[in-house]
Chain A
Amino acid sequence: MKPAAFPTVVRPRDERTQPSRIIEGYPQTPLRNPAQPLIRREPTLSELTGPLDAARRVKLLGGDIAGHGRRQAIGQLIHLKVRVLDEDGAPVGGAMVEMWQANGAGRYIHPNDDDHAPPDPNFYGAARLVTDENGLFELRTVKPGAYPVPTRDGWWRPPHVHFSLFGKVWLSRLVTQMYFPGEPLNAQDRILNSVPDAAARDSLIARYVPPGREPYNALVYEHRIVLRGSAATPAQP
């Protein structure tokens, strides 16, 4: 398919395909999400433009975060293949992607994380990449572990990977999370299940690819991320 054009149309989203802003059992959400209704705004040039070369301001970090030799992270090696598309299904090339995740034991390298599980000295758990012309980025990592949320009421986050993406316009900026198929915790996660629409929830779960010859030592998962925006070529008379 042709690479994504600069979107000229960004349609309002179906609210059922997006998470609730206030989530029962997620105590921070009622404190920091607006009480007033959001103001509906028709996109102007200001929102239909956006940073195309944010990557020039920042440092890219490689797509192999599982390590090598004596510096290998502990955990199930996985290979992620993620394709970034626009609403027309056209690949979004040149998009900056930031990912971060817990280590194999469910622990982040971050001062906010507590001592519930061991850190891994060989795993930082973050990569910053740019999609190729096919909208693809690939990542060799370890499968993140699940971890208990400090609410301590039985809520555990299922294994997941965070993504932050820069599309072709300001309104295509996206922060999302990807989940893994077949995880029992998926069914009770308060964040994943705050998306009302079942198909929209399913599209947050990566696809497991049965092992082939390559890569011989990693399980492969494929995922698709759709950014807002459409070229919406008007019908010709």
Chain B
Amino acid sequence: MIPTAEATIGPFFPPRYVDAGSNDLTVCDGRQAKGQAIEIRGRVLQVDGTPLENLIVEIWQADANGIYRHPADPRHAQADPDFLGWGRAATDAQGGYVFKTIRPGAPQGRLAHVNFMVMFSGVMRILKTTMFFENGNDPVLNLALDRKNLLIGKKEGQDRYTFDIRLRGENETPFFDD
């Protein structure tokens, strides 16, 4: 069967779908996930650097040991029971989003990374990208060729990274089609 056509979320995505705490992956049902708690923040900008408000960002990542909480991961039985790996944030008036999460371990054959999705009014199909913590040899990062640096979060201290997402224009974030 042919997968259903995507569409923009439009300008009226209900604010109550950005639940309090849905951008904090470090706690699940009141229990603390294992590993190094970090903060990833950034701004989402359109052409000419205009910040976008009320844009939805979602992330998906492995736990502190690089294990996905999903049966397709051969190691999933050992996944941290207190880490769901998914979060959602909405951008503020400055285009800023923030996630509190656990620094993921490196999954087998990969560098540590966090998957991002961007949904917004006028974004007709979900935009997918991936943030890395450092440069190196990774099958996905390598695909970005001379734009690799745009996929690497900027370290702002021990526990804090910045990852800006530019939807179009100068220093446009590389997005993936998969």
Chain A residues close to B by CB (< 8 Å) = 6, 8, 10, 12-14, 17-21, 23, 26, 28-36, 38-54, 56-59, 61, 85-89, 98, 100, 102, 108-113, 124-126, 128, 162, 164, 169-171, 173-177, 191, 194-195, 199-201, 203-204, 224-228
Residues in B neighbouring A41, C-beta threshold 8 A: 140, 143, 176-178
Residues in A neighbouring B120, C-beta threshold 8 A: 32
Does B157 reach chain A (CB closer than 8 Å)? no
Pick the contact of A171: B22, B28, B62, B178 (CB < 8 A).
B178
Bound Cα distance A61, B15 (Å): 13
Pick the contact of A34: B9, B62, B110, B172 (CB < 8 A).
B172
Does B98 reach chain A (CB closer than 8 Å)? no
A-B pairs with beta carbons under 8 Å apart, 19 shown: A23-B124, A29-B122, A33-B124, A35-B172, A49-B73, A50-B70, A50-B86, A53-B84, A54-B86, A59-B16, A162-B13, A170-B60, A170-B115, A170-B117, A173-B117, A174-B126, A176-B6, A194-B124, A200-B5
- A-B contacts besides A39-B143, A110-B15, 13 pairs, CB < 8 Å: A28-B122, A31-B168, A38-B175, A38-B176, A39-B175, A41-B176, A43-B178, A48-B72, A49-B60, A53-B69, A87-B1, A174-B126, A175-B9
Min Cβ gap B80→A in Å is 13
Q: Name the 9 nearest CB pairs between A and B, nearest first.
A: A28-B122, A51-B86, A49-B70, A38-B177, A49-B68, A108-B12, A32-B46, A41-B178, A177-B7
Q: Given A51-B85, A200-B5 in contact, is the A33-B123 Cβ separation under 8 Å?
A: yes
Bound Cα distance A126, B19 (Å): 14
Whether B177 contacts A36 by the Cβ 8 Å rule is no
Whether A20 contacts B124 by the Cβ 8 Å rule is yes
Q: Given A85-B1, A174-B6, A200-B2 in contact, is the A59-B62 Cβ separation under 8 Å?
A: no
**CB within 8 Å of A: which of B113-164?**
113, 115, 117, 119-127, 130, 139-140, 143-144, 147
Residues in A neighbouring B8, C-beta threshold 8 A: 175, 191
Main secondary structure of the interface of A (DSSP, over half): loop
Interface size on B (CB < 8 Å)?
72
Pick the contact of A29: B13, B124, B169 (CB < 8 A).
B124
Residues in B neighbouring A89, C-beta threshold 8 A: 1
Min Cβ gap B4→A in Å is 5
Pick the contact of B72: A8, A125, A173, A200 (CB < 8 A).
A8
Residues in B neighbouring A98, C-beta threshold 8 A: 14, 17
Give the total number of A-B pairs whose CB atoms are below 8 A apart. 232
**CB within 8 Å of A: which of B1-50?**
1-17, 19, 21-22, 28-29, 46-47, 50
Bound Cα distance A30, B130 (Å): 23
Bound Cα distance A52, B52 (Å): 29
Does B96 reach chain A (CB closer than 8 Å)? no
Residues in A neighbouring B119, C-beta threshold 8 A: 164, 175
Pick the contact of B174: A36, A128, A204 (CB < 8 A).
A36
Residues in B neighbouring A227, C-beta threshold 8 A: 3-4
Pick the contact of B107: A42, A46, A50, A175 (CB < 8 A).
A46
Residues in A neighbouring B4, C-beta threshold 8 A: 174, 176, 203-204, 224-227
Residues in B neighbouring A86, C-beta threshold 8 A: 1
